[in-house]
Structure 1
Amino acid sequence: MLLYAAVLVTVLSFAAASEKKVVCYHGTWATYRSGLGQFDVTDIDPHLCTHVIYSFVGINDQGEVISLDPYVDLPSGKNAFRNFNALKKINPKLKTLLAVGGWNEGSSKYSTMAADASLRANFVKSALNMVLTYGFDGFDLDWEYPARRDTTHGDADVDNFTTLIKELRVQFDKYGLLLSAAVSPTSATASLSYDIPSISKYLDFINVMTYDMYGPWEAVVLHNSPLHRGEGQENEAREDVNSADVSLDYWLSQGCPPEKLLMGVPFYGHTFKLADASQSSVGAPSAGAGIAGPFTQEAGIIGYNEFCDMLQTQSWDVRYDPKAKVPYAVLGNDWVSYDDVDSMAKKVEYAISRGIGGVMLWSIETDDFHGICGEKFPLLNTINRVMANQIPTTKPTVAPSTAKPTVASSTSTTNKPSSTVSTTASISGICSKLGPTRNPADCSTYYMCVYDRSGGISPILMHCPKYTYWDQKHLYCNYLHETDCKV
């Protein structure tokens, strides 16, 4: 029983032990959505994220950080700044950050501010004041993007952005505050905006926005956030494809420390109108933006909470791109690229395999937070479950058998872990080293080899997600046709 308890604590403490991050952005405008789409900061489950980021504040012409929606943000209105930070009373380990910028803020104001020493000083001082006044643990820069869009100073933005981050770092270090940034994912875009080795020195973590890779602005239908090069792209050079793996390769190759790098995952999909309903495969001609969600109400984009309900109530043809590792769905002329629980698991497994700092998600209010399609927060719970199956890189400090597991979990009673502790932990010959390995008797499961209480290595039985099987070649759960499963 002591061995069983020790291994259980070890398994359930993987995410905490390895300090992998689950960074959750929250778009506060969701408070204005109607019906089941309305989402306030108090709807956030603070046990499912290691960090939550309040989005967004902006700046004025003096470079000062200001509220963009005083009614929502400030004590005179809905007091969301303070309610957001009150989540730490529920989970004291939670870290809160305040994000500045975003797509709608544009680039020009930030380009002007970053180029002027006095305006930068105003920015740094006002940012620090807002963070300290309302109890945030840090600040997130979401300038979209240096040296791009409506920039006023062009290429000079690159060095000015580095200078701004350095000046923030100096002041934030006096109070032990976090500093992060959301950044463009691809080499074609990031190479224009960032001095990656320099900004990596001053930022605590970097959120790579590996979504919006393709969308209804394209002439053909393609995936919002492919993990790898997808169907129809076989003849394209890998480095020319927009995909999460290529983006991570680029950021790592440019000197970003892996422990600071976070892979972005979307809790929304892109919608298209097919030019011809008879041509509906990946890469088919597009006629532009498709359906809008009932809550987000924007053509070309749909929240997971909106689309999963449509999948239950309408006759969509759901398909899977085995190369890109993401699903898509077709109904008449409508074509939707999105992520589901299985593709989310694949992405997190891949992020872990690359040894990076964790994942970032945009954004928490478009998960199925009411559980309309099943459990509450299914995408976010999937991220946590996969994170919980990580391998410790050093021998764990074994807690007493009475210790309670600390893995993040939803308050929903429908949650079920995706792994179980094997009652045959003494099986000989299964584990020759730390890490995952096949179960010779059943390829819908596999063994995770971890340190046990005595300092030896013991196997723990793990279960692959539904419809997937263990792939010993790649060391993750995969679709049947891509494995050598014979059982």
Structure 2
Amino acid sequence: MGPLNCVLAAMIFMICGSAAEDYNIFCQYDVGSIAYKNESQVYPWYIDTRMCTHLVLGHGFGVNETGEVQITDEFLLIKHGFLKSAAELKIDNVKKILFTLGGWADGESRRLTQVISNSTKRDEFYKSLTIFLRKWRLDGIQIDWRSPSQDSKPEDKKNFVTFLEGLRLSAQEHKFIVMVAVLGRTDKKTLAAYNIPAIVKEVDFVNLMLHEERDAHSRKLGYNAPLYGPEKSMDAAVKHWSKAGHAPKKLIMGIPLFMTSYTMDKKKSTVGSPSKGPGKTTPYTRRPGFMTYNEWCPNTKKWAINFDNKFMVPYATQGDQWVSFENGQSISAKMNLLKNSKLGGAMAWTVDADDFSGRCGQEFSLLFAIFEALGDIKTLLTTTPKYEPSGLCPRDEWKRDHWDCRLYYECRNGQRYYYECIKGEFFDEKLKYCRPEHEVECKQDFVIWRPGMPLYDMENFPRNLKIVE
């Protein structure tokens, strides 16, 4: 954090003091965001863990046909080392690390539904889950159960509760966290998919979400998570789930940090107006109807930005493009509702979509808006290192290895943490991420020495000597 940001944080702390209550701040990290290009490519160690109490890993996890928990993206989670290093992210303020199963993807949703509806597969799931958590030193699981609102069967509602009952017993025995992500919309079809009292009873936390990845393909312009409004609003979701579940402290308010884009029909920009479908594919995230805030915010001068005071959310237009997003004002309003409703905390979904590098001002500006309302600002002002800085790491920074452009390391609190780019990429010290070899300047003009070669003496010892065994 830069000096100006520290001064700003200090001023906020002096005015507001620390939070009166302890809130949970869940930071969801989409491992698949590594596929983004250039400035939007995000590694897990970019996350400012001082602002998270829990880290939730998404993408790359699933179940097989027998119900066994498995890794579905070995390249990222195993070969790239993200999962093995997950425990090392439990630093600063992070207490627990969870992983996510399910979601909107048809294949994962279908396999999870098959497990939930079969007692033999459920038993295999419980057994394999405890082994999986221990192996990878994880603390819990989030079941993303949004799909029922799309194509649910009548028996899914009952089967899901039965599944959670067994999962709770296993969690109590093996001491891990159970969290469920649900659609918080209050339309009749969505509510019919959930037995709210039973779900809330069987889990530790309920991630109350309004956004759905399919929304951009609808034929109407829609906000990601409006504070107010009919059927799809955070206010209605909180009231309904709090009343039906009788445990508001278990409810976690989902805050979408990404942007949903639409193509307007006849440039009608009022929410609810006809849409031609998803917005244009962008060069970094390359997904129609989707942008990260990090990708969009440097170009705000090209957009007309508006704030809807009725629904308490911003939106922006450019030509025939329309985007829904969050900003400090909308998040602040949601945090007021969260605190007044005595909820358990918030979920930043997903932190890789935030302005993590501070391209547009405050680093992780959207996450900071959540943390400012719920966290303890003093934790951001701590500058005392946990370890004595060594000569190899005198200050916090990212550096490329002197001998190999694929290798790089982070200096953090006097310690080095080493990483390696995938084959065909070099670490770019200016941009602080891996890029294709031909796009990165890499001078490797060292002198190689192998055992058996003539020895150097003090007079001709080269400074750029590399010893190769």
TM-score exceeds 0.5: yes
Relative to 1, partners in 2 of residues 1:409 and 1:381: Cα closer, same or farther, differing over 3 Å?
Answer: farther
Unaligned 5+ segments in structure 2 are: 1-9, 384-469
Aligned residues: 370
What's the secondary structure of 1:288's corresponding residue?
strand
C-alpha separation in 2, matches of 1:198 and 1:113: 19
| TM-score, normalization by structure 2 | 0.74
Q: Displacement of 1:165 after TM fit? A: 1.3
Q: Displacement of 1:52 after TM fit? A: 1.0
Contact 1:46/1:94 (8 A) holds in 2: no
Aligned pairs (5 A) from 1:196-275: 196-212=196-212, 215-229=215-229, 238=230, 241-275=231-265
- 2:66 pairs with one of 52, 55, 62: 62
C-alpha separation in 1, matches of 2:362 and 2:194: 40
What's the secondary structure of 2:122's corresponding residue?
helix
1:364 aligns with 2:351: yes
Q: Displacement of 1:283 after TM fit? A: 3.2
Q: Displacement of 1:409 after TM fit? A: 6.6
What's the secondary structure of 2:165's corresponding residue?
helix
Q: Displacement of 1:37 after TM fit? A: 1.2
- 1:40 pairs with one of 43, 68, 79: 43
C-alpha separation in 2, matches of 1:147 and 1:379: 28
What's the secondary structure of 1:180's corresponding residue?
strand
1:329 aligns with 2:316: yes
Aligned pairs (5 A) from 1:328-407: 328-388=315-375, 406-407=378-379
Contact 2:260/2:323 (8 A) holds in 1: yes
C-alpha separation in 2, matches of 1:319 and 1:26: 28
What's the secondary structure of 1:282's corresponding residue?
coil
CA RMSD across the alignment: 2.5
Unaligned 5+ segments in structure 1 are: 230-237, 390-404, 412-487
Aligned amino acid, residue 241 of structure 2? W
Q: Displacement of 1:119 after TM fit? A: 0.5
Cross-structure match for 1:165: 164
C-alpha separation in 2, matches of 1:207 and 1:361: 10
Aligned pairs (5 A) from 1:71-470: 71-74=75-78, 77-88=79-90, 90-91=91-92, 93-104=94-105, 105-146=107-148, 148-149=150-151, 154-187=153-186, 188-212=188-212, 215-229=215-229, 238=230, 241-277=231-267, 279-312=268-301, 314=302, 316-388=303-375, 406-407=378-379
Contact 1:106/1:144 (8 A) holds in 2: no
Contact 1:147/1:157 (8 A) holds in 2: no
Cross-structure match for 2:437: none
Relative to 1, partners in 2 of residues 1:385 and 1:93: Cα closer, same or farther, differing over 3 Å?
Answer: same
Relative to 1, partners in 2 of residues 1:9 and 1:159: Cα closer, same or farther, differing over 3 Å?
Answer: farther
C-alpha separation in 1, matches of 2:34 and 2:375: 31
C-alpha separation in 2, matches of 1:191 and 1:210: 13
C-alpha separation in 2, matches of 1:388 and 1:32: 31
C-alpha separation in 1, matches of 2:336 and 2:197: 26
1:50 aligns with 2:37: no
Aligned amino acid, residue 373 of structure 1? C
C-alpha separation in 2, matches of 1:213 and 1:275: 20
Contact 2:101/2:144 (8 A) holds in 1: yes
Relative to 1, partners in 2 of residues 1:408 and 1:214: Cα closer, same or farther, differing over 3 Å?
Answer: farther
Instruction: Report the structure number with the largest CA radius of gyration.
Output: 2
Relative to 1, partners in 2 of residues 1:226 and 1:184: Cα closer, same or farther, differing over 3 Å?
Answer: same
C-alpha separation in 1, matches of 2:264 and 2:144: 33
